[in-house]
Structure 1
Amino acid sequence: MRKKIELYPDLFCQYSIHEYSDELKKMSEILEQHEEILDWVHEDLLQGKMVSYKGATGRSSEMVFCAAILKQQRQWTYKELEFHLADSQSGRAFVKLPFGIYYSDSALQENIKKISFNTWEKINIILVKYAEKKGYEKGRTVRVDSTVVETNIHRPTDSSLIYDCIRVLSRNLFQLKELNKNNNLKISKLKFSCKLAKNMVLSILNTNNQEKREEIYRDLIVKAGDNYNQINSYIKVAKSLKKSKKVLKIIEQLEHAKTHLEAILAQTIFRIIDHKVIKSEEKVVSIFEEHTDVIVKSRREVEFGHKIFLTTGKSNLVLDCQIEQGNPSDAIKFMDLVNAQNKLYERFPRQISADGGFSSKDNVLNAKKSGVKDVYFSKRCGLKILEIVKSSYVYNKLKKFRAGIESNISALKRGFGLDRATWKGLSGYKSYIWSALVSYNLTILANKV
């Protein structure tokens, strides 16, 4: 049976004498004041299963949640988290691990990733409400900005995407051969191997001659097409095997590989051979993280991930985060961010400060109608200072205040891993972002107590 909380803390779970240990202790005290958090986490970990009073105890929901916070705050890998939970006195005290109990990196990963992004978002709201109750953050003056968090993919090129498909297909074929050992069904080798594909990708990368590059691409497309034609025969073999979870998984993976390879070959012919342009939203940029968007912001380098919109306050707490699909303009999202603050605090902020990308006359007018007194944009969009704020003093004050969100974003990217989300899938991507924000906010609150 999985417990929600350890009712009797271990005598050996003691914090060491250190400022970092004091911070962890304060974080733990804040969390202990909100028991509903563990109810949500416990529900996610059970995943709708009935509570069983038989079998192994497993990790308590409190242990899993605290381990997730510790991982995101310190930016450890699961292997590093495993080591520190075995080695660190303060780490074990924060996670409340009983003496003599240790957990592997795979067990930690399996459990932490079960916590949904909806739960993380609700936990963040709890922390924001706690900050309001304690007087740390009232949400009267806020600032908004957008940034891009990359997905965990390599920089895509048509040749590297073809290579990815062949590599995955080769792996699926190896697994199929392992399952076919006792059946002796005939399975042909891939006509175009990973090694040859990699050599061609490197040749494309290293050549400066456009005609030669196109010639190699043509050869790559033909040879990858031979592999594509073999996939149906592999699927046929897999379907003739005895049905099992492994066989069904391989069939699914082969069908995905076929779909991806077909789309990427068509894209490569369209772009490289026919010299045509594909819209960014129609491009295939990854066969692993298919939800990835192509984000182009003015003259900056193209990024691959998702655009997120952050709202922070005077306390530097992240009050709200909106994760978007596609590449919506900042101006379009401005009123959504303002309305989100009304939903959170049941009132609109008195002052709001934003980057020039959010600026428009309509946004100023709509915000003023909603009850926002002062609206600062780094671009005034043809309006006079007194039309957007009540005085030049307030204008300059909000101008300086807006710059603070850049330091918030920098701290999140450098200190809490928000430069790249490493968890798989769109839901994993969202969970990663929200877990980083919760860890960041909890750290700020611990230093204010």
Structure 2
Amino acid sequence: MREKRITQASIFDVFADHEIGIELQGMSRLLDAHPVLLDFVADDLGSDATTGRCGMTAESALRCAVLKQYRQLTYDELAFHLLDSASFQAFARLPVDWTPRKAALQANIAAIRDTTWEAIQAQLMGTACATGMERGRMWRLDSTVIDSPIHEPTDSSLLLDGVRVMGRLLASAEQLPGAPKLDWHNHHRRAKKRARAIRYTRGQDKKKSLYRDLIAQTRAMLGYLEHSAVPLQLAVTDAAALAAWQAEVAHTTDLIARVIDQTERRVFNDERVPAADKIVSLFEPHTDIIVKDRRDTHYGHKLNLTSGASGLIFDVVIEDGNPADAARFMPMLERHIERFGVPRQVAADGGYASRDNLAAAQRAGVEDVAFHKKRGLPVEDMVRSPWVYRKLRNFRAGIEAGISCLKRAYGLARCTWKGLDHFKAYVWSSVVAHNLVLMARLAPG
């Protein structure tokens, strides 16, 4: 059975007398004070094995995940530092004379779900409030965007991706047990030439003819996949492998059909396709199109974050689509009230300002509500005095520094994990690593 923690830790585990070593030691004490966290992680890892190596303990998997986000390491770099650094070895609580390879690290860290990270965050924040590190009486809110691990999309690049992926699917189909030789031709080379020509060609009429040919190559590859279904169904001897291949084909062809549709609507019909109807990646189809202040366009997900006077991140919500800030003010405040109680003072960016939000917050028991931009709201309606308004407005600005730190030091500018579930886990693990470090710095002595 997989163990939750090493039964006998080494007496020689020491942390370097360095800023990073001291922080790691403080973070280690915080994790040791919350043994229930290992139960959350153990449920995700799981193991019914009774023979052979049972894998990393739940404690080591959690600590290695924190290390990765804390130092923003790749799995290969993490494997090296665990082998090379005494402080990393002491923090990770690995078995004596054994360090995991990058494949083992990736498999164990990826198994920790976003709901588990959220539960870990709730435990840490409960401790911060119980010890007086954070009182939760002052609450501030802001939003940001984290990018998905995709290239900037264009219709031509998406069609080219589709041709390339369908070629891989057809090639893998011929490797299935008992599969016959399929009748198909790979159009990737021609599609690549058309996509490149579209990129460097000026004039809509010239581009339209290139798009027609590129779409024709894409439809030809779709036809090959469709015609291969019957021969494979009759010949393949491994039903499970065939079912998995068919599921992948169904998922991929549905996305490619949507890409063809949006391309034809935009290029040939001169139609403005709504952002909600667009596919921007075949590999990360959950990605949203987020336009910030009519300037920068991001491809990822919008986050709403809340923070307190200590700088700790109370909560983060990964939004579906691009909802207006004003529509998310009360849901975020209600989440905070449910977990930490009613804050005495609230500060938020001007995008959250509305008379309805002000009234709802005051009905919930908040004494002072300050929006960075007044949006026609009198100061005396929001707070007790102009002095209080200035203080809360300055307090709100502090969350900008927190978001900047999360982006620069904890990888929240761009997610590097694939899939929506792993995207959410990446966000929460970054927040947990940030809060662990800050709590270690704020802890007395």
Aligned to 1:423: 417
Q: How much has 1:107 moved relative to structure 2?
A: 1.0
Q: Which residue is equivalent to 1:6?
A: 6
Equivalent position of 2:37 in the other structure = 37
Other-structure match for 1:150: 147
Whether the aligned pair in 2 keeps the contact of 1:13 and 1:98 (CA below 8 Å) is no
One-letter amino acid of the structure 2 residue matched with residue 260 of structure 1 = L
Whole-Å separation in 1 of the counterparts to 2:5 and 2:186: 56
Residue 354 of structure 1 contacts residue 402 of structure 1 at CA under 8 Å; is this kept in 2? yes
Task: Supply the distance in 2 between the matched residues of 1:191 and 1:419 (Cα, whole angstroms).
Answer: 37
Shift of 1:286: 1.2
Give the counterpart of 1:208 among 202, 207, 215.
202
Cα separation, 2, equivalents of 1:70 and 1:235: 46
> What SS does the aligned partner of 1:160 have?
helix
Q: 1:312 aligns with which of 307, 310, 314?
A: 307
| In 1, Cα distance between equivalents of 2:137 and 2:231 | 65
Does the 8 A contact of 1:235 with 1:255 survive in 2?
no
Question: Residues 227-277 of structure 1, C-alpha deviation per residue, up to 9 Å, x if partnerless?
Answer: 111111223333231125433322222222322222211221111111112
- Aligned pair 1:63/2:60, yes or no? yes
Identify the residue that residue 16 of structure 1 maps to in structure 2: 16
Could you tell me which residue of structure 1 aligns to residue 93 of structure 2? 96
What amino acid is the match of 1:38? L
Offset from partner CA, 1:179-210 (integer Å, 9 cap, x none): 36x65x23123252x22212211111111222
Using the alignment, how far apart are the partners of 2:442 and 2:250 within structure 1? 53
Q: What residue is the counterpart of 1:438 in the other structure?
A: 432
Distance (whole Å) between structure 2 residues aligned to residue 278 and residue 386 of structure 1: 44
1:12–1:98 contact (8 Å) kept in structure 2:
no
Kept in 2, the 8 Å contact 1:281–1:326? The answer is yes
Q: Distance in 2 between matches of 1:129 and 1:364?
A: 27
* TM-score, scaled to structure 2: 0.96
Task: Give 2:159's aligned residue.
Answer: 162
1:260 equivalenced with 2:260 (yes/no): no
Aligned partner of 1:227: which letter?
M
Q: Which one is further off, 126-135 or 61-70?
A: 126-135
Deviation at 1:403, TM superposition (A): 0.8
2:395 matches 1:401: yes
What does residue 177 of structure 1 align with? 174
Native 8 Å contact 1:342 1:349 kept in 2: yes
Q: Which runs of 5+ in 2 are unaligned?
A: none
- After superposition, residues 214-293 of structure 1 pair within 5 angstroms as 214-239=208-233, 240-293=235-288
- Give the whole-Å Cα distance in 1 for the aligned partners of 2:295 and 2:339: 33
CA distance in 2, matches of 1:191, 1:55: 44
Cα deviations by residue, 1:61-120 (Å, 9 ceiling, x for unpaired): 000000000001111111111111111111111001133202111111111111111111
Q: What is the DSSP-based 3-state SS (H/G/I as helix, E as strand, rest coil) of the residue aligned with 2:271?
A: coil
Q: Give the AA of the match of 1:112.
A: I
Are residues 257 and 404 of structure 1, via their aligned partners in 2, closer, same or farther at CA, if it must alter by over 3 Å?
same
Q: Aligned partners of 1:29, 1:242: CA distance in 2, in Å?
A: 55
CA contact (8 A) 2:166 2:222 kept: no
Amino acid at match of 1:78: Y
The equivalent of 1:296 in structure 2 is 291
Q: Retained in 2: the 8 A contact 1:238–1:251?
A: no
Indicate which of 313, 322, 328 corresponds to 2:323: 328
- Structure 1 stretches lacking a partner, 5+ long: none
CA, structure 1 residues 271+42, in 2 after alignment: closer, same or farther (shift >3 Å)?
Answer: same
Conserved? CA contact 1:421–1:432, under 8 Å: yes
CA distance in 2, matches of 1:15, 1:247: 52
- 1:179 aligned counterpart, secondary structure: coil
Question: CA shift at 1:371, angstroms?
Answer: 0.8
Q: In structure 2, the residue corresponding to 1:115 is in which secondary structure?
A: coil
> Quick one: percent identity of the two aligned structures?
39
* 2-structure distance, mates of 1:104, 1:308: 33
Q: Residues of 2 paired with 1:267 and 1:229: CA distance?
A: 19
Point out the more displaced range, 354-363 or 257-266. Answer: 257-266
Q: Which residue of structure 1 aligns with residue 81 of structure 2?
A: 84
State the Cα deviation string for residues 352-408 of structure 1 (Å, max 9, x = none): 101110000111111111111110011213222111100111111111111111111
CA apart distance, 1:308? 1.0
Q: Is the 8 A contact 1:238 1:250 kept in 2?
A: no
Q: Distance in 1 between matches of 2:127 and 2:335?
A: 18
Q: Assess if the C-alpha contact under 8 Å between 1:228 and 1:262 holds in 2.
A: no
Q: Secondary structure at the match of 2:301?
A: strand
Shift of 1:314: 0.8
* 10-19 or 425-434, larger mean C-alpha shift: 10-19
Which residue of 2 is the match for residue 189 of structure 1? 184
Amino acid at match of 1:197: A
Structure 1 stretches of at least 4 aligned residues deviating more than 4 Å after TM superposition: none
Which residue of structure 1 aligns with residue 116 of structure 2?
A: 119
Secondary structure of 2:118's counterpart equals: helix
Q: Secondary structure at the match of 2:140?
A: strand
Letter in 2 for 1:82: A
Partners of 2:231 and 2:309 in 1: CA distance? 63
Q: 8 Å contact 1:4–1:42 — kept in the other structure?
A: yes
Cα RMSD after superposing both structures: 1.5
The 3 A distance-change label for structure 1 pair 216 and 52 is closer
Q: Which amino acid is 1:384 matched to?
A: P
Q: Report if the CA contact (8 A) 1:359-1:380 is conserved.
A: yes
Does the 8 Å CA contact 2:167/2:186 hold for their aligned counterparts? Answer: no
Q: Is the 8 A contact 2:174 2:181 kept in 1?
A: no
Matched, 1:342 2:337: yes
- Deviation for aligned residue 1:302: 1.7
> Which residue identity lines up with residue 437 of structure 1 in the other structure?
V
3-state secondary structure, aligned to 1:352: strand
Identify the residue that residue 51 of structure 2 maps to in structure 1.
54
In the alignment, residue 33 of structure 2 is paired with which amino acid? Q
- The answer to whether residue 367 in structure 2 is matched with residue 370 in structure 1 is no
SS, match of residue 394 in structure 1: helix
